[in-house]
Structure 1
Amino acid sequence: MNSLLEINNLHAYYGQSHILRGVNLNINQSEVVALLGRNGAGRSTCLKAIMGLVRAEGEIHFLGKLISRRPSFMIAQAGIAYVPEDREIFANLSVEQNLRLGIKPGKTKQISSEKKWQLDDVYSLFPILKERRHTLAGVLSGGEQQMLALARSLLGNPDLLLVDEPTEGLAPQIIKQLLDVFQTIKQSGVAILLVEQKLNLALQLADRFVILGHGQAVFEGSREDLQNNIELRKEWLEV
């Protein structure tokens, strides 16, 4: 596989708090990597550091180019989309207005053979958004808002999608829909770095797993490696 994202010796901070302590991570093209760990382990901070949203040290390369220390908008323009836990939709705009804000004029994917996402594509992926395209985003349910945030990110035609806790607080039937959506996104060739608390969901979707503990990577391996290592799961994942 060709490397898409390479993170070397990443340290990240909130004020004086040292959150990430020398994380190394790589993601290949079209790969789904699940970033696991308990609350406070540094998973969300890792996504924010990639996007340039927190103070960080270390090197981050995307498609062979150094992106660390670039402003967030340039990182997004390079082909990385970020769906934060709070979704950051525009509540006073309609669903379709929110979606159109995700379209980057003239943006083409760096990995040119892969799918280009257009408005009709995301409406096919999320039929409820088409039904509610003239509805204000602020009155959507939590699941619909999550779908809107994902759809908007795809319209920027990213090569890599960073997603933070997409199923948090959602009903089981909505979670199942989102899992199907992520499978479709994966098949389209978009790589995903997924922060997810629900291990069973991550096991269904991800190709590779990284566990953070106390700001460091304490495990990296396959689905089989993780499933077979009961002691590791008890120490770093289970409550």
Structure 2
Amino acid sequence: MWVPDWDGVIPTPAIIKPRPRWTGKQMISMILPPNLNMERIESKEKDAWLPFKDDGALILGGELMFGLLSKKYVGSASGGVVHITCNEFGPDVALTFFNGAQRVVNYWLLHNSFSIGIGDTVPDMETVGKIQAAVDTQKDVVAQISKKAYDNELEPAPGMTVRQTFESKVMAALNKARDTAGNDTQDSLKDLNDAVQMARSGSKGTTINIAQMTALVGQQAVEGKCIPFGFKYRTLPHFAKDDYWAPS
């Protein structure tokens, strides 16, 4: 009903028992041009034709075999579904695909809805422990670097002053905390997480944004340097003067 030019023949369900069930790939295949072929192998696994995370995309004879039709494959990128359809079958077929995709997706959203909330950014307790451990570890590293600087024991790196060396080492340590916490967060998020689905489809946001919302934003840099003292001898009024430790 919602597929343009549908011939009335319902495809064989992918799941027969206990009840017939059709997959999303079967739904999408009904709006693809019948003779469309596209191959995008992106998985680094040993068996790239059976990707565990459904990476890449394979369309054979208008049937989506594996992969997700994300923005990377349906957007304006060269070699995508729209590009191939327009070149191989003409603008009318491409227009039919656009109409079909819009109507099917709208109908799916009407029945299933889609939204993200604070629950999509709340990690489990194990991940919280890993995040806190990563932050505490790098805070200790920054404390050691700061102590060396205060005691005049910090050796300047080649071509850099002591202050530049200090900033470089501190930023490297805090960036490592952000990256480690972000990786732990990404590994813990489930595929059914709405924020993850939105990032993977390419509609909005990235996995880095999700990690920042879930774990920590991390060290902020201005022109590649630590935040300068905008107030008198400090970055913000609630810090002590000449405070170079991790929180400031």
Please indicate the TM-score interval, normalised by the length of the shorter structure.
Answer: under 0.3
Structure richer in helix, relative to its length:
2
Structure of greater relative contact order (alpha carbons < 8 Å, 6+ residues apart): 1
| Greater per-residue strand proportion | 1
TM value normalised by structure 1: 0.23
Q: TM-score, normalised by structure 2?
A: 0.23
